[in-house]
Structure 1
Amino acid sequence: MYHDFLFIDAEEDSKPPQKMLAFFKAAYDMFDADFYVKADDAIYLRPDRLAALLAKDRPHHQTYIGCMKKGPVVNDPNMKWYESSWELLGNEYFSHASGLLYALSSEVVGSLASANNDSLRMFDYEDVTLGSWMLAMNVKHEDNRAMCDPHCTPTSIAVWDSKKCSSSCNPAEIVKELHNTTVCSKSPTLPPEVEDE
């Protein structure tokens, strides 16, 4: 580990699901945490609000938190988001968190860290792959829409607009613009009515 960077033992040409698994194995080996979080650099993140979310008591110790989604499986190799293992999935994906931001409890990451890589099925996309593992492990899915707000609000944990920024935007510029707005960067960790409870 070098200050802010964690170097993962993975080949540069590895597929995203393999890199994701390598990250969780390395993070679990190096850090003792209640939750492990994966976040893309294309989002505007409020770490203070994420920490407040993760600090909540939960009855289920195996937890998977994110913006859960479903959608059609793309079986046409000429289309974006083509899934080469489509025949294993049927017509629609199971519920899984968007790959831009999600959190896994320590118990879940511990199970992944101890798994043999060859025993885990890898799909083409990280979010689908992780979602399939979460189903197999019978973890608690926690859908939190504040982790995928399209606009800053007083309760946003992460802001990103998947429809607006699917391929033709500059995420760094958008994040910078968001940070310069009061509601994104200068609002309290929790709105007053939540803090008083």
Structure 2
Amino acid sequence: MEFPPDGYLSFAFSASSWVFLSLTVHFLFQQRICAEVGAAPFSSHWQWQKIPVFYSICCKSWCNKICIVVVENYRFWDIPETVKMDEEEASSFKKHQSGAIHPIVNCDKKASYGDNAIFSSIVVVRLADKCCEYCRRLLIRTLDKTISSLEVQLAAARAAKADNSNKGSPVVTKPGMEQFKERPKVFFVMGIITAFSSRKRRDSIRDTWMPQGDELKRLETEKGIIIRFVIGHSATPGGVLDRAIDAEEAQHKDFLRLNHVEGYHELSSKTQIYFSIAVAKWDADFFIKVDDDVHINLGMVGSTLSRHRSKPRVYIGCMKSGPVLAQKGARYHEPEYWKFGEEGNKYFRHATGQIYAISKDLATYISVNRRLLHRYANEDVSLGSWFIGLDVEHIDDRSLCCGSPPDCEWKAQAGNACAASFDWSCSGICKSVERMEEVHQRCGEGDGAIWHTSF
């Protein structure tokens, strides 16, 4: 019995489209990406002869039974050949034509190339409705992620190039795109905001929860965790303060130097520059800002972040909404209090400034738009304001703001070690230089915990 090769969902491709499809299917076959591929490879002279091709591509990772069947490509001058079928194939074909198995749509289109030659390419696709919908959604998600990734890469390259234009910067010294290509892929970057006067605080951290020397390098290579003290320069670059940091850097090699003039009231600007430099230097999933009087359990921080790795735009911290202080002389006075409504109003929800983490896309957003982003008096308020109009997921994680002992100690004894500990009353650990060792002994996860934690 003879049946013409119609009655299926068909698409007639142009020559260029067919070439692309053929090469794509051939590539997938050779790379063994899909589970089953049957038939011989394409002939190198497919343009000049009839080529029987029957590729059954069953990609089990997408759906159990998604079959894309490329049946035949014909070169013909007048009338195409008929296809012979045995009785079993004919019966199956008639069922499809009658719609007993799946409703089929016929689409025939001919493309003419030259005066005499006509090429017709018939692609037969049989997909279950649910699998079709799944594939469409999967394709959309894949394209979205690809576009987002390209946008992040472009933004990072622009940021690096812009930073390079600032002469005298001790961090960015290569052209933007060149440096971007060399960025190492890491899990997270933790920037410890510090000051010239905080040498003892830095040493208390080095003696407790922050690895040193070869252990710091091992942390980077094995776990993809970067930890740096973040500091700018003095109002007189090259002065005694800067030379002291140079000597400390030569000893410990754990600084990230910014092209920024240090000052307490410049913390919003410093944080902004930190994210810009960090995202240009490392291709990290997350970027963390932490104060130098906070105790950290690195394993718990890593475990916390790993739960949100698949989310594109996340803002993680202990969310709060404190009062807007209009009184002059107050510690956290807000000069632009009138922007937040009447006196006595509260700020919008934002992460407390002792520690917070943002995903790569948000760090890139800050880097690209830093000259347009408004900076309020308080750094944590500034950061929250930058995200207020964006499609960002705010994650309130209270393990990032445990109190110092006995609070964090009780939780550690119960098997729920805190990611970060500090005293709210002091906006950090009270007398951190003297107490950091005590907090580490009573609330620490154990010095070897980070090496046995899988992210």
Q: Which 5+ residue runs of structure 2 have no aligned equivalent?
A: 1-170, 172-248
Q: Partner residue of 1:130?
A: 383
Q: Partner residue of 2:400?
A: 147
1:160 aligns to 2:422 (yes or no): yes
Superimposed CA distance per residue, residues 119-140 of structure 1 (whole angstroms, 9 cap, x where no aligned partner): 1111001000001011122311
How many percent of aligned residue pairs carry the same amino acid? 31
Q: How does 1:1-197 map to 2 (within 5 A)?
A: 3-13=253-263, 15-57=266-308, 60-90=311-341, 91-117=345-371, 119-150=372-403, 151-152=407-408, 153-154=411-412, 155=416, 156-163=418-425, 165-166=426-427, 169-181=430-442, 183-186=443-446
Could you state the TM-score of these two structures normalised by the residue count of structure 2?
Answer: 0.39
Q: Which 5+ residue runs of structure 1 have no aligned equivalent?
A: none
Could you state the TM-score of these two structures normalised by the residue count of structure 1?
Answer: 0.87
Large movers: runs of 4+ above 4 Å: 187-190
For the 8 Å contact 2:299–2:445, the answer to whether it is kept is no
For the 8 Å contact 2:319–2:396, the answer to whether it is kept is yes
- Identify the range of structure 1 (8-17 vs 102-111) with the bigger mean alpha-carbon deviation: 8-17
Q: Secondary structure at the match of 1:8?
A: strand
Structure with the largest fraction of strand: 2
For the 8 Å contact 2:286–2:360, the answer to whether it is kept is yes
Structure with the largest fraction of helix: 2
CA radius of gyration, larger in: 2
Deviation (angstroms), 1:80: 2.1
- The residue identity in structure 2 corresponding to 1:8 is L
- The residue identity in structure 1 corresponding to 2:380 is D
Q: Secondary structure at the match of 1:34?
A: strand
For the 8 Å contact 2:289–2:356, the answer to whether it is kept is yes
- The residue identity in structure 2 corresponding to 1:178 is V
Q: Secondary structure at the match of 1:127?
A: helix
Q: Distance in 1 between matches of 2:286 and 2:307?
A: 11
Relative contact order higher in (CA < 8 Å, ≥ 6 apart)? 1
Q: Distance in 1 between matches of 2:378 and 2:440?
A: 29
Q: Secondary structure at the match of 1:108?
A: helix
Q: Distance in 2 between matches of 1:168 and 1:147?
A: 13
- The residue identity in structure 1 corresponding to 2:441 is N
Aligned pair count reads 188
Q: Distance in 2 between matches of 1:48 and 1:161?
A: 21
Deviation (angstroms), 1:166: 4.6
